[in-house]
Amino acid sequence: MEMDTITEIPDDEYILKCTSACAGCGDSLTLRYVLKAAGPDIVLVMPAGCTAAFQGIYPKTAFTVPVVNIAFGAAAACASGISRMFLATGRTTKVIVYAGDGGTLDIGLQALSGAFERRTDFLYICYDNEAYGNTGMQRSGATPLGAKTTTTPAGKAEVKKDIDAIIAAHNPPYQATACASYPQDLFRKVRKALTFRGPTFIHVLSPCPPGWRYSSEKTIEVGRLAVKSGMWALWEREHGNLAISAPTKAAMKKPVPLEEYLSVQGRFKGIDGTTVEQLKEQIRETFHRFREEEDRP
């Protein structure tokens, strides 16, 4: 399935080029393909974060779809209101939240959990740059173990919060992970998510040159290394059933050494051997869990 042809992706653009996002911004890339997959009949709900910051300044907007900005912790709740109003009036316009990792794993978690528990009909996309990008790269619950941020100058001492397991516990009809460096896979998953009624979730690793401290032309490469090393895994769950996506299947057979992923980024500079071992152990555990689940009849 991974080998969908690029030709099925429409040429239409719903976010203009030349926003104020940083060069090589993975979030922008993610957003571009999310919008191509979703098409024009949507409402985007957006909490505070980098995307809100580069949307353009009133009276202009970089989007050709409606964008409802909302407070940092309130995206899923605001989307609930829109979704239920559309339900009341029989409108089929899709409601999509586009929120950062901070707006999802941290401050927005309560609203997110509530909206999922209420079976809100919407798609929630978390673009994950593993820190608070908009405020200058402070740690978030999504920052991986060992990564330096401005509030973890010696490297984060705790592991990344498993938001996907938290979402899975809400039993959504569809959830997936994706990565900005695999746009076809992302495109297909967004299209698929939008065929379901009820809450769906896609968690998209979105590399961030200034935050992760690598040079801006390397975004695709860094995202691919994340997947190939196993630091990030691509999969989807339809009604709970796990399907591992092809790039991660390949990584499970033969991962590239984690050091290749870590060494291209300044945020892991000086990481000690024990921490690297802990990260590797995590990857082995994740792959082990995948294999066990796949083997189950």
Partner 1 sequence: MKKIVTGNKAIAEAVRDAKPDVVAAYPITPQTEIVETLAEYVSSGQLASQYIAVESEHSAMAACIGASTAGGRTFTATSSQGLLYMHEMTNWAAGARLPIVMANVNRTLAPGWNIWAEHTDAMQERDTGWLQVFVSTVQEAYDTIFMAFRIAEHNKVLLPVMVNLDGFTLSHIMQPVDTIEPGDFIPPIHLPDSVDPKNPKGYGTITGPGDYFRFRWELAHSMRESVSVIEETQSEFAKRFGRTYGLTEEYRCSDADVVVVSLGTLGKEAEVAIDILRDEGIKAGSLRLRWFRPFPELDLAGKEVVVIDRDYSFGFGGVLAHSIRSKNLVKVYSVIAGLGGQEVTYDDIAGFIRNRRIGGESWFGVNDHV
- Residues lying near ligand SF4 in the complex (CB under 6 A) are found at 21-22, 25, 27, 50, 54, 129, 133, 208-211
Binder to partner 1 among 2, 19, 69, 184 (CB under 8 A)? 69
d(CA 297, CA 294): 8
Q: Are 244 and 294 in contact (CB under 8 A)?
A: yes
102 makes contact with ligand TPP (CB under 6 A): yes
d(CA 140, CA 161): 9
161 makes contact with partner 1 (CB under 8 A): no
Q: Which helix (H) or strand (E) holds 225?
A: helix 219-229
Binder to Mg ion among 51, 80, 104, 129 (CB under 5 A)? 129
The nearer residue to partner 1, 51 or 248, going by C-beta atoms, is: 51
Q: Which stretch binds partner 1 (CB under 8 A): 76-84, 209-217, 258-266, 275-283?
A: 76-84
Binding residues among 65-84 for ligand TPP as defined by CB under 6 A: 72-73
Binder to partner 1 among 4, 13, 66, 136 (CB under 8 A)? 66
Token look-up 């860094």 returns 222
Q: Which helix (H) or strand (E) holds 125?
A: strand 122-128
Coil, helix or strand at residue 202: strand
Binder to ligand TPP among 19, 61, 135, 282 (CB under 6 A)? 135
Coil, helix or strand at residue 174: strand
Q: Where would I find the beta strands (DSSP E) of 60-107?
A: 67-69, 94-100
Footprint of ligand TPP on this chain (CB under 6 A)? 27, 48-51, 72-73, 100-103, 129, 132-135, 140
